[in-house]
Structure 1
Amino acid sequence: MALWDWTLEAYAQAGVPETCLTLQDEHGQNTSLLLWAVWAEAADPLLLARAADIARRWEALALAPLREVRRALKPAFEGVADGGREGLREDVKSAELRAERVLMEALEAITGPQGGAHALIALEAASKAWGKPAPADALAALAAALR
């Protein structure tokens, strides 16, 4: 199954969206990288380093700026109609989702055969490759939600 399709199915599982958001907002993780690592069963340090580099650069160029704008557009803005602001926010949200998909397509393109790593091992390896390892319990929560 293609990574994007797998990710949509994974995100539909109870607890996955909330756990991913916690890993992103509270622990500075790139959830696309984490989900890719589980899908790819990645444990190879060289592959993980390459994937983390791509994710880090794409996060800085596209994901973080779009996320910042989307979040900034959430509250009312004096002098701007709510409908217009909310419509723009939805457009930015769509662009942010597209940027996540582009990243996942790039990660899928560098993936060889599945690596055989259990979900938690892949998450720990990806978090370490990202450079800011998340707490073990937060990664374990995502691994459990992805079952």
Structure 2
Amino acid sequence: MSPFPESLWDFSLSIYAEPEMEALCLHLQDRRGINVNLLLWALWLDARSRPFQLALWQQGVNRSQRAERWRVGPLRRVRRFLPKRTPWQGIRSMVKTWELQSEQRQLQDLQKISDGLSGGSDVRSADDGYLIQLLGSSEPEYHQLMQILEHWSNGRKHRP
């Protein structure tokens, strides 16, 4: 049995809890403009050894860009704008909940896309993974993500 959850949402929650993962994701999001949900989807697909399909990737990128533009991004901007003090804490917390729900929906949409496409003529070699579409394999963040994924995977294999 594979140590990887079937659900992209469950995988995302689990790997995001790994040490250094949250900080790395926020760094990539804020400093490099990388969509964290696309990054998590790419990791999930690569971890499941899903062969790279250009049509699948393009569909996921397009869907994620729309979600980021119309749902997730605006909520994130509002949350970050709101002060972290009374009386704003309750509103900020509510916006954060909506933001998380929007991210969950985005990940569910990405999983539906990947579940809906089977192998096709645009399947590429194993060297063309999904994560490489976001980060080059020579970048330090790529290697850091691979170490986190390996640590996560090893921890899952040793659980009863």
| 1:26-82 C-alpha deviation (Å, 9 max, x unpaired) | 000101011111112252122111100000111000111101000001355xxxxx1
TM score, norm. by length of structure 2? 0.74
Shift of 1:117: 5.3
Shift of 1:135: 7.8
CA contact (8 A) 2:137 2:143 kept: no
Among 18, 28, 31, the alignment partner of 1:26 is: 31
How well do the aligned residues superpose, as a CA RMSD in angstroms?
A: 2.6
| 1:1-34 C-alpha deviation (Å, 9 max, x unpaired) | 2111111110111111111101100000101011
Other-structure match for 2:108: 105
User: What secondary structure is seen at the aligned counterpart in 1 of 2:129?
Assistant: helix
Looking at structure 1, the residues matched to 96 and 61 of structure 2 have their Cα atoms a distance apart, in angstroms, of 23
Percent of residue pairs bearing the same amino acid type: 31
TM score, norm. by length of structure 1? 0.81
Matches within 5 A, 1:1-147: 1-41=6-46, 42=50, 43-76=52-85, 82=86, 84-112=87-115, 121-125=129-133, 127=134, 136-147=139-150
Looking at structure 2, the residues matched to 16 and 44 of structure 1 have their Cα atoms a distance apart, in angstroms, of 26
Unaligned runs of at least 5 residues, structure 1? 77-81
| 1:59-113 C-alpha deviation (Å, 9 max, x unpaired) | 000111101000001355xxxxx1x300100000010000100000000001146
Shift of 1:136: 2.1
Q: Which structure exhibits the higher relative contact order, with contacts defined as CA atoms closer than 8 Å and separated by 6 or more residues?
A: 1
> Structure 1 stretches (4+) deviating beyond 3 angstroms?
112-118
